[in-house]
Amino acid sequence: MAHPYQCILASNAGSLDEFNWTLIGASGPKLVVQSCSGARSTWPKEKEEIAENGQGDEPNGPPGKRLKLSPPEEKAPNFSTMVMSNDSQYLVAITGEDKCIRVFQIDSDCQLQQLSQRCMPRRPSAITLTSDDSTILVADKFGDVYALPLLPSPGEERNAIPTAEPSEAVTEKKFTPAASVLTVHSGRNRKVLEEQMKQAASLPPKPKETMKFKHDLLLGHVSMLTDVIYTTVESPVEGGKPRGYILTSDRDEHIRLSRGPPQAHIIEGFCHGHEQFVSRLCLTKSGLLVSGGGDTDLFVWDWLNSRFLETLSIRDPVFDFLKTNKFESNLPDDKAHFNIAVSGIWNLPNKDSEFDEILVACEGIPALFHFKVTGGKAASSLSHVIAVNANALGVAFIQPRESALQMIVSVDNVHKPASTTELRDEEHASRLQYFSYSQAGGWSSQAGYHKQESDSEVGMEGARKGGDEKAARDILYNVEVLRKRPGAED
């Protein structure tokens, strides 16, 4: 059984005059690229993998040595999130296990060339690019947002000055304890001090992991970051430059609005209102912010003024969908005890609609929810509930021709619909589903373009044999776990 596509994206649907599209899916540690011309490629290539391991220095070197360089039991890291540059030339993807940001060039013949691989000190949880594609903004699980150039200039690596914490320079010198005998101590501090003394006597301090590439610490929350958005707004001052903003969301219910670089240290406001973790942010066509997470509702904001506009219930339609479609095994009788976790919010690139329209996915739910959003100007409403064959994981839109809109949904072919734990029995369930949209008729299911499914892919067989099952599940389902559990330590 092939690994599901944990994330998919497509190049800008119908950019001005061309209707070329490229679809990229991440399947475990692999990337699969498909274009409208029918070209298709995967990364890494089988051949490339071997070449990489050999490092190219000694193509005829003893094979034993190569093995040492890359022990076969080491597993390739899985992709956790990715974003395409606005000009569709580059793909920036995060691999989770090794905390790396990888930048790929997308060639005209659909091949991916990895240009750089930069490992962060903490696992990145979300990425975005500035509007001019020059800078990657990466948000991590520790709460910090860093800015990295998309393409590091060749001279940069050596001159890079890490944004060192002032103390790092100090501690890399000879160890001196931070406290003195005159310092007031609690018993614990005294123990730490003793330990430090002992350690200093026995081993030299470990060399600190430093990032040997240009990176700037822009801002930080004391909470795990879940999403980051960069956007620009026209200056309210006549003749002023457009203003850049960074929006960040965290596990502690916060949505923060900061200025863009170089003034990212200035917080402009917060969108207060969530009572559970916030997991996804989405800017609509007209510039409204929609946020979702562990709450029963989605929130709609006039984010520039930190103003709450309206809520849209997401729990109720999800609950009703499960009830109507007889996915009742894990469903509590009472709606109030039913938790949902929003795993995706997408802005519908629908030029014909005068309203903002969004699609919402929730973790472990085999459906997508299509809302019309007005920001309180008129009645916002749930327009469509789109049932899919399995739990929805990701969504990408393409525009194959004038005023045609199609949607590709990646679905979980491994677990049973409406369950994140029970494995399904069919061996060859499809991993992608296709829909086309019309203003009048809504969504209708389509036959696919993808000629995949049969070819060799990284299998989930390993996962089936237990052990890895949980790890595999964590790649697909990592939102509901953000919920705080009652009775945490006091």
Partner 1 sequence: MAGEGKNKNKREEYKQSLKEGDAALPQKKFYRQRAHANPFSDHALTYPKSPTDMNWATHYPAYALSKKEEAGDEAQGSGAQNPKAITQPVEIADIGCGFGGLLFALAPNFPDKLIIGMEIRTSVTEYVQEKIRALRTQAASTTTNQPTYQNIACLRANTMKFLPNFFARGQLSKIFLCFPDPHFKQRKHKARIVSYTLNSEYAYVLRPGGIVYTITDVEDLHNWMVGHFEKHPSFERVGEEEQEEDVCVGVMRMETEEGKKVTRNGGVKYVACFRRLEDPPWP
Task: Identify the residue among 64, 154, 166, 204 touching partner 1 (CB under 8 A).
Answer: 166
The one-character DSSP state at 19 is -
Residues 6+ apart with CB under 8 A from 286: 356, 375
x/- binding map, residues 470-489, to partner 1, per CB under 8 A?
A: --------------xxxxxx
CA distance 129 to 88: 12
Among 119, 160, 217, 331, binds partner 1 (CB under 8 A): 217
CA distance 14 to 405: 9
CB of 291 to partner 1, least distance (A): 14
Does position 263 bind partner 1 by CB under 8 A?
yes
Taking the complex as a whole, the smallest distance from the CB of residue 486 to partner 1 amounts, in Å, to 7
Residues 6+ apart with CB under 8 A from 25: 5, 7, 8, 31, 32, 34, 394, 410, 432
DSSP 8-state code for residue 193? H
- Which listed residue (69, 170, 471, 481) binds partner 1 by CB under 8 A? 170
Whose tokens are 């060399």? That residue is 207
- Per DSSP, the residues of 267-303 read EEEE----SS-EEEEEE-TTS-EEEEESSSEEEEEEG
Number of residues that bind partner 1 (CB under 8 A): 55
Other CB atoms within 10 Å distance of the CB of residue 275: 10
Q: Which is nearer to partner 1, 16 or 488 (CB)?
A: 488
CA distances from 40 to 106, 108, 225, 449 (A): 12, 11, 34, 11
**Looking at 49, 69, 262, 329, which residue binds partner 1 (CB under 8 A)?**
262
Closer to partner 1 by Cβ: residue 180 or 454: 180
- Judged by CB under 8 A, does residue 134 bind partner 1? no
Site for partner 1 in 270-289 (CB under 8 A): 270, 272-273, 275
Applying CB under 8 A, the span of 10-18, 177-185, 285-293, 314-322 interacting with partner 1 comes to 177-185
Q: Which of residues 71-130 bind partner 1 (CB under 8 A)?
A: none
Residue 357 in the binding site for partner 1 (CB under 8 A): no
**Residue 239 makes contact with partner 1 by CB under 8 A:** no
Tell which residue, 175, 178, 172, 171, has the closest CA to residue 193.
178
CB of 485 to partner 1, least distance (A): 7
Name the residue among 275, 420, 387, 391 with its Cα closest to residue 320: 387
Contacts with partner 1, residue ranges (CB under 8 A) = 142-144, 165-167, 170-171, 177-180, 182-184, 186, 188-189, 192-193, 196, 217, 219-223, 235, 237, 240-241, 243, 252-254, 256, 258-259, 262-263, 265-267, 269-270, 272-273, 275, 484-490
